[in-house]
Amino acid sequence: MIASESTKARPDSPPALTAGIFDVDGVPLGSPHERAWREALQGFADPEHFTSAMYQARVAGKPRLSGALAALEALGVPDAGRQAVVYAERKQKRREELIDAGTVAAFPDALRFVQAVLALNWPLAVASSSRNACTRGQQAARHSPPSQFRNLSV
């Protein structure tokens, strides 16, 4: 739109946005998932073979147990189906340790975007299919300056 054009809504234009819902998984916060999956492999397979490309192609976005099974199968771990539960539990424990150690950080560009949305006085919510969503929201509030998540209710 050119600055001199009217900002009035046109009859054929869609309604203006008035709120925001954001996926919290890896969007506003950096996630230690890949690192936790890699480090939890010790004793199952060589963690050096768990590459970022493998993580993205086979594990990222899957439910925990499915991701564990996919990783173990990709790495040729014998009896991967039986080992997956233990591996998934180890990964979760390691992820929680990494989070407690303060390794989760909010992405600066995501924070700027959230601040811009809040400046518009839009309602703002986060959503996730992950069981860890509430924990992640609380971590964001804990590890970021309070003004950045001042209206976030977890």
What helix, strand, coil percent values describe the chain, rounded to 5? 50, 5, 45
**What is the pLDDT, as a whole number, of residue 61?**
87
Domain with CATH 1.10.150.240 in the chain: 33-100
- Of 2.40.50.140, 1.10.150.390, 3.40.50.1000, 3.40.1160.10, the CATH number of 1-31+105-154 is 3.40.50.1000
Residues of the chain within CATH 3.40.50.1000 domain(s) are 1-31+105-154
Residue-wise pLDDT for 56-90, tens only, equals: 999 998 999 999 999 999 999 999 999 999 999 99
> Class for domain 33-100, per CATH?
mainly alpha
**Chain-wide mean pLDDT for the chain?**
79
Instruction: Give the span between the Cα atoms of 84 and 73, in whole angstroms.
Output: 9
Q: What pLDDT, in 10s, does the model give residues 10-62?
A: 667 777 878 777 776 666 677 788 999 999 999 999 999 999 999 999 999 89
What is the pTM (predicted TM-score) of this model? 0.65
